[in-house]
Amino acid sequence: MIVPILIADKKNLNDRYYDTKSLEKIISDYNKEGERLGQCFGVFRTEPDYYSYGERGLVSIRDIAFTVDSMEIEGKILIADINILKTPAGNDLKGVIDLVVFRTCVWGNLEEDGRVEIENLISINAIYSVHDPFRRIKEINEKSIYI
């Protein structure tokens, strides 16, 4: 399933934005993760702290719900091909797939103008669309129809 992840140069509801350099950094980190593990995993958590992790850059195996099989920039939108797994979190995700969007979880710095400078990609997360900071951006929501 092809899904949008981020859009470049549009401020979200948190008054933050990612530039093309940020999207390229995410792809670079995604490629490194694939080389390291042979696969890049995505997570689905239903708790309100869905972006909260213990040690820096680590996700819990219990939260793994899908793989990210490819990632590229199409125009100004970062898109990914995801494959939902037959894990407990993957089964939960399948049950609510129409209620979620896919976004990044990253470590980075926030510049004064709201630009996010990415230090490293932690994971791609499936989050409920009601919590999506990009929910009012037309261009990314038009792409949210899964292919």
**Token pair listed for 51:** 């972006």
For 49-84, how does the pLDDT look when each residue is reduced to its tens digit (9 = 90+)?
Answer: 555 544 555 677 888 999 999 999 999 999 999 999
pTM: predicted TM-score of the whole model, two decimal places: 0.86
Structure tokens at 139: 């261009």
What would the pLDDT profile of 98-147 be if each residue is shown by its tens digit? 999 999 988 889 999 999 999 988 889 999 988 888 888 877 766 654 43
- Kindly list the distances between the CA atom of residue 18 and the CA atoms of 60, 64, 87, in Å, as whole numbers in the listed order: 26, 25, 31
Q: What's the confidence (pLDDT) of residue 147?
A: 39
